[in-house]
Amino acid sequence: MNNTLIQNNLRTASATMGTEKKVLVIRQVVVPRLNDESNIRALAELARGLPHLDYIELLPYHNYGMNKYQILGRHYQLGDLRRFLRPGSRNIRKSLRATVLSVNRRALKDDER
């Protein structure tokens, strides 16, 4: 999947936030088997180039939409995934924190989370 447009929009948003004295927050859902450590590392690398990024918040995957799919008679492709409370392994969080903090910003909303 090509995410060039998303990356460009993030760069534009970050530049705009600086002129308006606001901060940028990235919220990333962590879905097992879909966005792994390499995806999170790529996000961290992108974050290094966003001067007005305040933090990245890793959100846990949930399956709240599964019931709606069933009602609509549609197949929920992630139905076999279990919901988890803490997104990402320690390695993912450590990698993200190290990469983003190398540009002197908070890596995660709550480092102890």
Greatest extent of the chain over all pairs of C-alpha atoms, in Å: 48
3-state secondary structure 70-106: HHCCCCCCCCCCCCCCCCCCHHHHHHHHHHHHCCCCC
CB 52 within 8 A of CB 78: no
Where in the chain are the domains? 4-101
Q: What is the pLDDT of residue 9?
A: 92
Architecture of domain 4-101: Alpha-Beta Barrel (3.20)
pLDDT digits (tens, 9 = 90+) for 49-104: 888 888 888 777 778 888 899 999 999 888 787 766 555 566 666 666 665 554 43
Q: What dihedral do alpha carbons 86, 54, 92, 28 form, nearest 10°?
A: 60
Q: What is the pLDDT of residue 5?
A: 93
Element (H, E) at 42: helix 37-48
Q: What is the pLDDT of residue 73?
A: 95
Across 75-101, b (16+ Cβ under 10 Å) vs e yields eeeeeebeeeeebbeeebbebbbebbe
The model carries a pTM of 0.67
> 32 versus 112: which is more confidently predicted?
32
